[in-house]
Amino acid sequence: MSLTRLLIKYETAEHVYAVEASREAYCFAKNLRGRLPDEEKRKIFLYGCYSKNIDWHAQNPRPNAIIHEIIGCIPLDEGCIKVMHDTIKNPNGEVYSCIPYKIGTLCMPVSRPKRSRISSFCSFILSSSMKIIKDVGIQGMFNPHKDAFLCETPQFIEEFILQDYVRKPLESHRVFKTKFIVEKRTGKWAGVFLAPHVLTSKDNRNGIAEIDGLKRMTNWPVRYVQMYYYQKAIDVKQGDEIHVVFESDLTKECPTYRLEAWVNNNYLLRSSFAWIGPAIY
């Protein structure tokens, strides 16, 4: 509702459709709207459901821009590209502006991370675990330390320009294969970080529209996927290859993901992990 009021206050929008899927958030927004001046209240329409369930084409006035908080990539709690896909598709192609413009998930091979003071503090404030998992699995970390990185440059394992993606059918089996070259002199490979990457606008001069979960502090969790039991991390050295295969099914509101990885040609020593989003741990 705060964003809604800002759009009206600064005359960015003539009318705003505010949509809250959470019952608690909807009730809060409804009470707040009820206390607004009549002139402002007339410009704000409030719905308590998923945005994809609204017949946007039938609305008057019809919306022509969407600002959506459901990002639809692994690191974010919503983890739901389907809702965003169906919402943009609903207005029959009349949306000329979509915020965010592009979303993606960055992948970085890492050794078993340690909690930094900042990460531990964020985890404490947000009531998430302050301990690193020992078994194969996934957990959220806030602003993890870069000391665990085994490479200099992350890679995208999924990336969507939302207005382009809506023109395509949702994929029931997406497969992405890549490899990383270890740049650290020596290390123990334990898993990967999966971090959010968002471009709020196509115009990214001076990087002001970019949110990179591995480079800057955010309140979005980076997912740490541990591929091996903590005492069985794989010894790696500079020049070694870490192969990654990422699979996903995006046709459901809770997508399914599978990650498989191995070092060099040791495919028989590969490890895999599958989970269903939202991956909130």
Query: pLDDT tens digit string along 126-172?
Result: 555 568 889 999 998 888 889 999 999 999 998 888 777 777 788 88
Q: Is pLDDT at 68 greater than 80 in this prediction? A: no
At 242, give phi and psi (nearest 5°): -110, 115
Backbone angles phi, psi at 261, to 5 degrees: -155, 155
Best-predicted range by mean pLDDT (68-72, 129-133, 207-211, 224-228): 224-228
Residue 51 lies in a domain: no
Torsion of CA 273, 276, 278, 280, to 10 degrees: -50
The pTM (predicted TM-score) of the whole model is 0.79
Q: Per-residue pLDDT tens for 175-222?
A: 999 999 999 999 999 999 999 898 988 888 888 889 898 987 777 789
- Pairing state of beta strands 137-141 and 222-226? antiparallel
Q: Please tell me the predicted confidence (pLDDT) of residue 192.
A: 97
Residue 197 domain-assigned (yes or no):
yes
pLDDT-wise least confident of 72-76, 110-114, 146-150, 182-186:
72-76
Containing domain of residue 108, as a range? 102-276
Q: How many domains does the chain divide into?
A: 1
Dihedral through CA 85, CA 88, CA 91, CA 93, nearest 10? -100
Give domain status of residue 162, yes or no: yes
Q: What is the CATH number of the domain that holds 207?
A: 2.70.160.11
Domain annotation covers residue 157: yes
